[in-house]
């Protein structure tokens, strides 16, 4: 969960909530609310948090399942035949 992750990332860097708040131009109460799960960060704040803490958004939100990169997608990933264009008028 993002709340636990923000706290862990902050503590790993020996930062106080007020340090993070100052770094992302917010206030310590907002950081506290993120860490307790009372509030989820908006996209703009999540981007600031990730940049300030030096992590990716995936790391911040602990996103583990990632789609295949385009280069790894093969024809076997599709279970359909290409359209038959020979019947066009």
pLDDT of residue 72: 59
Q: What number is the average pLDDT over the span 32-55?
A: 94
CA distance linking residue 76 with residue 70, whole number of Å = 13
pLDDT grade for 6, boundaries at 50, 70 and 90: very high
Q: Model confidence over 60-81: pLDDT tens digits?
A: 888 665 555 555 555 555 555 5
DSSP string, 60-76: HHT----PPPGGG--GG
pTM for the model:
0.67
Per-residue pLDDT at 81:
58
How far is 4 from 1, CA to CA, in rounded Å?
A: 6
């Amino acid at each position: 969960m993002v709340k636990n992750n923000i706290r862990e990332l902050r503590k790993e860097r020996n930062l106080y909530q007020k340090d993070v708040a100052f770094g992302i131009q917010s206030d310590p109460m907002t950081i506290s609310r993120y860490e307790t799960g009372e509030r989820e960060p908006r996209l703009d704040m999540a981007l600031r948090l990730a940049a300030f803490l030096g992590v990716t958004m995936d790391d911040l939100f602990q996103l583990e399942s990632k789609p295949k990169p385009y280069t790894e997608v093969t024809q076997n990933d599709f279970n359909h035949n290409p359209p038959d264009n020979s019947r066009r008028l």
